[in-house]
Amino acid sequence: MSYKTVHAQSIQDPQTFWGEEAKHIHWEKPFDTVLDYSKPPFAHWFKGGLTNLCYNAVDRHLAQRGDQIALVAVSTETDIEKAYTFKELHAEVNRMAAILKANGVGKGDRVLIYMPMIAEASFAMLACARIGAIHSVVFGGFASHSLASRIEDATPKMIITAEAGMRGGKAVPYKPLLDEAIALSSYKPAKVLIVNRGLSEFVMVDGRDLDYTAERLAHLHAEVPVEWVDATHTSYILYTSGTTGKPKGVQRDTGGYAVALSSAMRLIFCGKPGETMFTTSDIGWVVGHSFIIYGPLINGTATIMYEGTPLRPDGGIWWSLVEKYKVSVMFSAPTAIRVLKKQDPAFLTKYDLSSLRTLFLAGEPLDEPTATWIHEAIGKPVVDNYWQTETGWPILAIQRGIEVMPHKFGSPGLPVFGYNMKLLDEATGEELGPDQKGVVAIEGPLPPGCMQTVWGDDARYVKTYWSTIPGKLIYSTFDWGIKDKDGYYFILGRTDDVINVAGHRLGTREIEESISSHANISEVAVVGIEDKLKGQVAIGFAIPKDASNVANLEAELMKTVDSQLGAVARPARVYIVTALPKTRSGKIVRRALQAVAEGRDPGDISTMEDQTVLAHIKTVIQESAKKA
Ligand code: ATP
Ligand code: MG
């Protein structure tokens, strides 16, 4: 079947389409209806069906591949590398589930997981799923303030943590941050379970804190029955990255999610049972939930969890893992590839990459120079895909499992099956034609796997996502884009980042793409700032590859933009900087750059990776003003 036929069927007859897809997972009891959309925009998938995420990810594979590897936990920080077969993973998850149960955690209770990328974190997630508890993984890099607000929002009965993470060879204490967060929070968890890695000193709180090693030993032979839950049972809460402001607590179901991930693994990522997938993200992000843990495992595909940077011990480390574990599917982010881009490509080609079929990238716009660089370095297809924490799996992608379709540089591809995509004029809500710029929207019902609601706040869900296009109940992605005559989408930036220069509407992405085509640029961000004459002007912040060769760089970059986009898109300034402000998931925080460039306070920057970067940007702007 062609992509066109499959996509059309998924939209016109979702009951049949998803009814068929649902056969790929285990149902303890069949569902009553495929889709109940009687209360839009709330879509209920596979209601009445009983299933379990952990069963689908682990137990179901025991008979056929119990002795095959399910999980490899690699840490280049502690030099620990350990593989678990499905049987071993099953045993560990049962132990963890028994600990949860023994401490009063049951179906529907929340468990907050604040952990580094160690195997125990995946045991914790799967154990929650096993007993019907709702996990909320909080990225291990967050400090106490961000953590406290998530504890208050999710009100977990138990928190699972490690005493420390490790980054760049240094221990990063977690336990004191967690203690601080609990002190800050008005809600207090009853129990805290600590995996002691022996990396840093910490204090146990009497009556509250539990030692994982001791608890595990006490439950070494535990067998915890799977809790069969309704397909609509909430499996987890996950907060968005906070690139645009306060993170939103995305609430996800069970059955729809399992089905969507199974479909995505087969039809988009083309990972086969018995193979290995390596997703370089973190379990604190949605990519980690869907394609480090649940997606591969549900599919019977082994997964690699990686703790460490892409550059330690050297820039070849990820590719050495591809060789060692015969990885067939790899999934990373443009931001990680830009880090590698500063390295000699020889590091990548040193290894036998013959098992690898495809490299998938998502999370941010993939600029052409980065895509070309990595494609040439590894000699494999590079597939961009576009989605959000809210959707849980790709919205736009080349769906190679359905049909081998041509790529277009700069485009994540075509609407994924199940997504009824619309490109709309934000002001009128009218649907736009080819090559017109507008907001990327999705007509309901959202397909299986997408968010059910904002945790504890249905009204906020409807107001935030479904009420922004005049006169229409339609889901807004808050991203701006265009669609070409072949139906390929191009993401031009966030709707908030659209610049209006003397009446011309420009996506920051277009200008960034142009600047990054200059041979000496490794990374760039463009923002619009207020201008008395033109309404707004574009300002660029660019990181050079070779910092010793920047004397005429700004002028050259302006010329590049002039020749590619026209003078109207030319930034008023392009500052040459050494770093850009990013969230901990590696996304550029343009609103903070804009605030600094306009001389305003950047507001809440607690989800930002390195708080000193903004000071650097400020200095560059000030120094350059002095020179002028
Ligand atoms: P918040 O919603 O809290 O501001 P966030 O939007 O960064 O944070 P995520 O859900 O992690 O949180 O990111 C989804 C967004 O990332 C998309 O809406 C889009 O802006 C961007 N994005 C993801 N993948 C791509 C891609 N392939 N190309 C372009 N942009 C992408
Ligand atoms: Mg978002």
CATH number at residue 619: 3.30.300.30
Q: What is the mean pLDDT of residues 378-392?
A: 97
Asked if residue 417 lies in contact with residue 267, where contact means CB atoms within 8 angstroms, the answer is yes
The CA 443 to ligand 1 mean position distance, Å, reads 19
| Structure-model confidence comparison of residues 465 and 241, the more confident one | 465
DSSP secondary structure, 518-534, as one string:
STTEEEEEEEEEEETTT
pLDDT digits (tens, 9 = 90+) for 597-623: 999 998 878 778 888 999 999 999 999
Q: What's the CA gap between 429 and 439, in Å, rounded?
A: 9
The CA 463 to ligand 1 mean position distance, Å, reads 19
Please name which ligand lies nearest the alpha carbon of 365: 1
Q: Residue 172 contacts by C-beta under 8 Å, 6 or more apart in sequence?
A: 140, 141, 164, 165, 166
Pocket test for ligand 1, best of 150, 240, 268, 393 (most atoms within 8 A of CB): 240
Residue 244, pLDDT > 80, answer no
Q: Are residues 417 and 470 in the same domain?
A: yes
Q: Are residues 92 and 175 in the same domain?
A: yes
Q: Are residues 444 and 570 in the same domain?
A: no
Q: Please give the pLDDT value at position 372.
A: 94
Residue having the nearest C-alpha atom to atom 31 of ligand 1? 364
Q: What is the mean pLDDT of residues 465-470?
A: 94
Q: Would 442 be classed as within a structural domain?
A: yes
Pocket test for ligand 1, best of 243, 477, 584 (most atoms within 8 A of CB): 243
The CA 608 to ligand 1 mean position distance, Å, reads 15
Q: Are residues 184 and 268 in the same domain?
A: yes
- The verdict on the CB of residue 386 being under 6 Å from ligand 1 is yes
pLDDT digits (tens, 9 = 90+) for 115-140: 999 999 999 999 999 999 999 999 98
Q: Residue 50 contacts by C-beta under 8 Å, 6 or more apart in sequence?
A: 27, 28, 29, 228, 229, 230, 231
Q: Please give the pLDDT value at position 607.
A: 78
With H, G, I as helix, E, B as strand and everything else as coil, classify residue 102.
helix
The CA 390 to ligand 2 mean position distance, Å, reads 8
Q: Would 327 be classed as within a structural domain?
A: no
Residue 246, pLDDT > 80, answer no
Residue 496, pLDDT > 90, answer no
- Mean predicted lDDT score pLDDT of the chain: 95
Q: Would 335 be classed as within a structural domain?
A: no
Q: Are residues 138 and 227 in the same domain?
A: yes
Pocket test for ligand 1, best of 244, 335, 386 (most atoms within 8 A of CB): 386
Q: What is the mean pLDDT of residues 358-365?
A: 96
pLDDT digits (tens, 9 = 90+) for 426-455: 899 999 999 999 999 999 999 999 999 999
Q: Are residues 118 and 221 in the same domain?
A: yes
CATH number for position 262: 3.40.50.12780
Residue 523 structural domain: 502-627
Count of domains in the chain? 2
Asked if residue 424 lies in contact with residue 475, where contact means CB atoms within 8 angstroms, the answer is no
Asked if residue 585 lies in contact with residue 241, where contact means CB atoms within 8 angstroms, the answer is yes
The CA 55 to ligand 1 mean position distance, Å, reads 30
Q: How confident is the model at residue 87 (pLDDT cuts 50, 70, 90)?
A: very high
Please name which ligand lies nearest the alpha carbon of 607: 1
Maximum C-alpha span of the chain:
73
Instruction: Go through 123-139 and write b for each residue having 16 or more CB atoms within 10 A of its CB, e for each that does not.
Output: bbbbbbbbbbbbbbbbb
- The verdict on the CB of residue 412 being under 6 Å from ligand 1 is yes
The secondary element (H helix, E strand) that includes residue 153 is helix 144-154
Please name which ligand lies nearest the alpha carbon of 388: 1
The pair of three-digit structure tokens given for residue 44, joined into one six-digit string: 């209920």
Pocket test for ligand 1, best of 587, 588, 604, 606 (most atoms within 8 A of CB): 587
Q: Please give the pLDDT value at position 344.
A: 83
Residue 245, pLDDT > 80, answer no
- The answer to whether the Cα torsion of 508, 620, 602, 175 is positive or negative is positive
Q: Would 195 be classed as within a structural domain?
A: yes
pLDDT digits (tens, 9 = 90+) for 13-66: 999 999 999 999 999 999 999 999 999 999 999 999 999 999 999 999 999 999
Q: What is the mean pLDDT of residues 414-432?
A: 96
Q: How confident is the model at residue 504 (pLDDT cuts 50, 70, 90)?
A: confident
DSSP secondary structure, 471-494, as one string:
T--EEEEEEEEEE-TTS-EEEEEE
Residue 271, pLDDT > 90, answer yes
Q: Are residues 566 and 443 in the same domain?
A: no
Residue 263, pLDDT > 90, answer yes
Look at the pTM and tell me if it is higher than 0.85.
yes
The pair of three-digit structure tokens given for residue 82, joined into one six-digit string: 């350990």
Q: What is the mean pLDDT of residues 511-527?
A: 94
